Amino acid sequence: MPKKQTPLRPYFEKMPDIGKPLSEGEVRRSKENIDLIGEHEEIIAAEIDKVIKAGLPAEKIHDRGGMTIYDRLEYLIDEGTWSPLHTLYNPADNDEGCTGVINGLGKIKGRWAVIIGFDNKVMAGAWIAGQGENVLMVTDLAKRLNIPLVWLTNCSGVKLMEQESVYAGRRSSGAPFFRHAELNQLGIPILNAIYGTNPAGGGYQGISPTILMAHEKANIAVGGAGIVGGMNPKGQVDAEGAQALIEAAKSFKSKAPGRVETHFDETAYFREVHETEQGVLDGIKDYMRMMPAYDPTMFRVAAPAEPKFPIDELNQIIPINQKRIYDATQVLARLTDNSEFMEYRPDYGREVFTGIAKIDGLPVAFIGNRQGVFPDYPDYAEGAYPAVGGKHYREGLIKQGEFVTLCGRDNLPIVWLQDTTGIDVGDLAEEAELLALGQSLVYSIEQTDLAMMCIVLRKGTAAAHYIMCGPQANNNNAFTVGTPLTEIYVMHGETAAAASYARRLVKEDEAGRDISPIVDKMNQMIQDYQDKSRPVYCAQKGFVDEIVSLTELRKYIQAFVGANYQNPHSITPIHQMILPRTIKG
Amino acid sequence: MSTDVTAPMSGTIYKIHVTVGEQVSYEDELIILEALKMENPIYAPADGKVTEIKVSEGTEVETNQVLIVLE
């Protein structure tokens, strides 16, 4: 009988246990917290519902015998694997309530892909403001994770009434065609299921992927049939011109160019043509079977296991009251396989934890903030003040920089759990080199070629939001998720109001003038900070890629880790890893 | 037997959740102490009856100062 095992078994098979069951008191006290989180989830769900219902009612598409983007995704993606991203993204506050594309990570026939499709209910998949940026985030994701990009194209081209917001510019809706070329050059395949009429921008959307397959009624073309020529160039439309246009439009009977008769029968651009919408998706499924993907066994260090503690207890552990502290280890214990964690330098830089865990049996690094008070720390303060969790101090920054560098060497993807109020400030902090150490961590991240996932559990504040691999780390950050408890701002509104108006208050007070108008402005500013840091706002503006319930966090981590190990372009043999040995000593 | 509930750090009493004579259970939240911009809940160390509350909301307290007595 052959004998088999997972690699480096003494390090990975059984790692240190973390976490403990919630006490009766914790359970009793958490009821209000659960309710409050539930209220926030309802607000987010209502916004998501608006996006799903954007444009034509689904019934109208069904009545025409068609499928909506949501029907197509449901048919295409393996059950239980869809992890949507950018659902609420709408940075230009479009009337449509969305950017007209639906995207995320999902498995098709057992393989991870980045999947994106035009919402055919919204102006037949027109280019609308913010869409170009949304698509670029998606192409970046495929590039970072080195996994196929699957397009469900159904694109009517530019929304002509708003062309200035989509057509021109470095990151406009034309930029994705170059990204598609870049992905192809990198060996990342793009599969394209083409539906409906796709003129001009839609045509390039159709032609730019790697493999094209079409519905029998689809077309792709340089320009559409709807552009009626022969306008008298007067610079404006008068009654005579309008009448001529009416006559021309009435007699306009030609079919849309670039139909299947052309691009299957003549040019042979389309690999397949299907009579049914499902047939096209079946074609995509068949091609997904051909996509490069290692079996996870290649990289597993143990058998997959669920955490020992229920994930829904996260709603009891993390207080929605941002001033309340919690035990970050208890959070980690509800995310990692078998609630195990191999911690790197636990006694050094105690305000952050760094270490290795397993997700579905695959090795993953975790970095996050601890909460609470750390007496007799940081050393450089010499007792002048204690360290407070959520902040970063000298040792913690050094530890994170070291750890990230070692992860880079070992090809360990990193999940960051942010709940940070910033980096320590003041003369002592400057003398302790915190400014340079913060940037040093940025350098360490950029110097690796690792995919990272950022979770803004609660607060993402000041430069600490950047240095903990926020979305600004564009080359490494695959995606960032927020939670119903997330707040992202440069500083708390009260701090900002004090910083902005303190001198003015002094001036008015010394002049004997009424300070109440200034006080009103300060409170207005605090409210504005509050309104513009909420989870829905963060998602709409792209501060995060999705808002995810705490109970869904592990699912997103599984998607990230699974996709990361599907087809990595760099491998560290498990038995040659240095980090587990460094931890063990 | 009486048990003293003390402040784990210096700060300001932000909220008192109990009244004298009230029966409390182990790990019930008795007081919130605000310090270092954080709300630090102080829990009952055991089941008992509140016999004395030695502080009021807004009181500044020092580390190890007795806040509540349980019996």
* pLDDT score, position A234: 73
Residues 6+ apart with CB under 8 A from A229: none
Alpha helices in A427-515 (DSSP H): 427-431, 434-447, 462-467, 493-510
Residues A301 and A439 in one domain: yes
Alpha carbons A8 and A5: distance in angstroms, whole number: 9
Nearest of A138, A147, A139, A143 to residue A112 by alpha carbon: A147
Give the per-residue pLDDT at A237: 85
Chain B CB contacts of A388 under 8 Å are 36-38
Does the active-site annotation cover A225?
Answer: no
Residues A567 and A450 in one domain: yes
- Looking at the structure of chain A, the number of domains it has is 3
> Quick one: A171 and A204 in the same domain?
yes
Query: What pLDDT shows up at residue B31?
Result: 95
pLDDT value for A229: 56
Domain B3-70 listed as CATH 3.40.50.300: no
Subunit contact B43:A321, Cβ cutoff 8 A: no
pLDDT in tens, A192-201: 999 999 999 9
Q: Name the DSSP class of A281.
A: H
CA A8/CA A550 separation, integer angstroms: 32
| Chain-chain contact of B37 with A323 (C-beta, under 8 angstroms) | yes
Give CA A477 to chain center in angstroms.
Answer: 9
- On whether the CB atoms of residues A455 and A416 are closer than 8 A, the answer is yes
Residue B10 Cα, gap to closest chain A Cα (Å): 12
Report the DSSP pairing between strands A362-369 and A352-359. antiparallel
Same domain, A283 and A365: no
Each residue of A376-405: pLDDT tens digit?
999 999 999 999 999 999 999 999 999 999
CATH code, domain carrying A202: 3.90.226.10
* Structural domain harbouring A313: 296-486+544-584
A156 in Cβ contact with A96 (< 8 Å): no
Q: What is the mean pLDDT of chain B?
A: 94
Q: What is the pLDDT of residue A253?
A: 64
List the one residue out of A482, A490, A499, A578 whose CA is nearest residue A539.
A482
Residues A459 and A329 in one domain: yes
| A25–B43 CB contact, under 8 Å | yes
Chain B CB contacts of A25 below 8 Å: 25-28, 43
The SS3 of residue A459 is strand
Q: What is the pLDDT of residue A236?
A: 83
Same-domain check for residues A62 and A208: yes
CA–CA separation, B28 and B19 (whole Å):
13
pLDDT of residue A223: 83
User: Nearest 5 degrees, angle CA A456-CA A460-CA A461?
Assistant: 175
Paired tokens of A393:
């101090």
- Is the backbone peptide bond immediately before A346 cis, with ω within 30 degrees of 0? no
**3-class DSSP string for A378-425:** CHHHCCCCCEECCEECHHHHHHHHHHHHHHHHHCCCEEEEEEECEECC
pLDDT at A256: 86
The minimal CB distance from B27 to the residues A23, A323, A388 is found for A23
Do A327 and A437 fall within a single domain?
yes
Q: Is residue A277 part of a domain?
A: yes
Q: How far is A540 from chain B (nearest CA, A)?
A: 30
CB contact under 8 A, A28 and B37: no
| pLDDT for position A576 | 98
Distance CA A34, CA A484 (A): 11
Q: Is residue A436 part of a domain?
A: yes
Over pLDDT 70: what percentage of chain B?
100
Same domain, A445 and A520: no
Tell me whether residue A40 is in a domain: no
Residue A386 domain-assigned (yes or no): yes
Residue A498 and residue A360 share a domain: no
Label residue B4 left, alpha or beta by phi (over 0 means left) and psi (-120 to 50 means alpha).
beta
Residue A368 domain flag: yes
Q: A349 an active-site residue?
A: no
The segments of chain A whose pLDDT lies below 70 read 225-233, 252-253
Helix (H) or strand (E) holding B16: strand B11-16
Please indicate, yes or no, whether residues A273 and A334 belong to a single structural domain of this protein.
no
Helix (H, G, I), strand (E, B) or coil at A256: coil
Tokens representing A255 are 């079919």
Report if residue A447 sits inside a domain. yes
Q: Same domain for A307 and A191? A: no
Complex confidence, ipTM = 0.83
Domain boundaries of chain B, sorted by first residue: 3-70
Whole-number pLDDT of residue A254: 72
A457 to chain B, closest Cα gap in Å: 17
**What is the C-alpha to C-alpha distance for residues A159 and A457, in angstroms, rounded to an integer?**
37
Phi-psi region of A55 (alpha: psi -120 to 50; beta: other; left: phi over 0): left
Same domain, yes or no: A395 and A474: yes
